[in-house]
Amino acid sequence: MKTTFTILAALWIGFVGFSQANTVTLVQKFSDCAPVTQRLIQANFTPEERFDLEEDMRKLSKLNYVMAQSYRFADNQMVLRSQRQLFDAKAYESYRKKDRRVTVFDSVTGLYVELYSWNEMDVEMSRIDMQYDVVSSK
């Protein structure tokens, strides 16, 4: 029964994950994080906090989602890799809306960025939790 449930959950997660345009990346260690996440963690976290993050893969994966995948750069602008790595999504948390996306101008990168709504982020955070629950139940 447990095996059947695990297989069905994995298939469902795979279906949901592939049906999304922006799939969530689960991380197991710091080096699995997106470059922007790595840079922001190194700049803003103490060595002890970084160690704690390495120990909690679920928390690290959620942080990676917020810092690297909870937004998109607006259409019709050229985005350099260096600009992607400079954007700090945490700086714009207060701009996010509950049920709609918001576009902001980031003066550091010189780009317009579309922030996903809190509702969209909640769905992705739940998906991350569900994926780690499936992995940990094996």
Total number of domains in the chain: 1
Better pLDDT: 25 or 12: 25
Segment 28-36 shows an average pLDDT of 91
| Torsion from C-alpha of 60, 107, 122, 133, nearest 10 degrees | -20
Residue 27 pLDDT: 82
Closest of 29, 35, 97, 106 to residue 74, by C-alpha: 106
Q: Looking at the predicted structure, is the pLDDT value of residue 10 above 80?
A: no
Q: In what order do the strands lie in the sheet with 71-73?
A: 71-73, 111-115, 102-106
The dihedrals phi and psi of 73, each to the nearest 5 degrees, come to: -80, 135
Beta carbons within 8 Å of 98's beta carbon, 6+ residues apart: 117, 118, 119
Q: Looking at the predicted structure, is the pLDDT value of residue 17 above 80?
A: no
Query: Which pLDDT tens digit goes with each residue over 58-113?
Result: 999 999 999 999 999 999 999 999 999 999 999 999 999 999 999 999 999 999 99
Task: Give the count of beta carbons closer than 10 Å to the beta carbon of residue 8.
Answer: 11
Q: Looking at the predicted structure, is the pLDDT value of residue 26 above 80?
A: no
Inter-residue contact 70 to 34 (CB < 8 Å): no
In angstroms, rounded to a whole number, what is the distance separating the alpha carbons of residues 132 and 34? 19
Query: Which pLDDT tens digit goes with each residue over 127-138?
Result: 999 998 887 776
Percent of the chain with pLDDT over 70: 81
DSSP secondary structure code for residue 15 in this structure: H
Q: Domain of residue 47: give its range.
A: 2-136
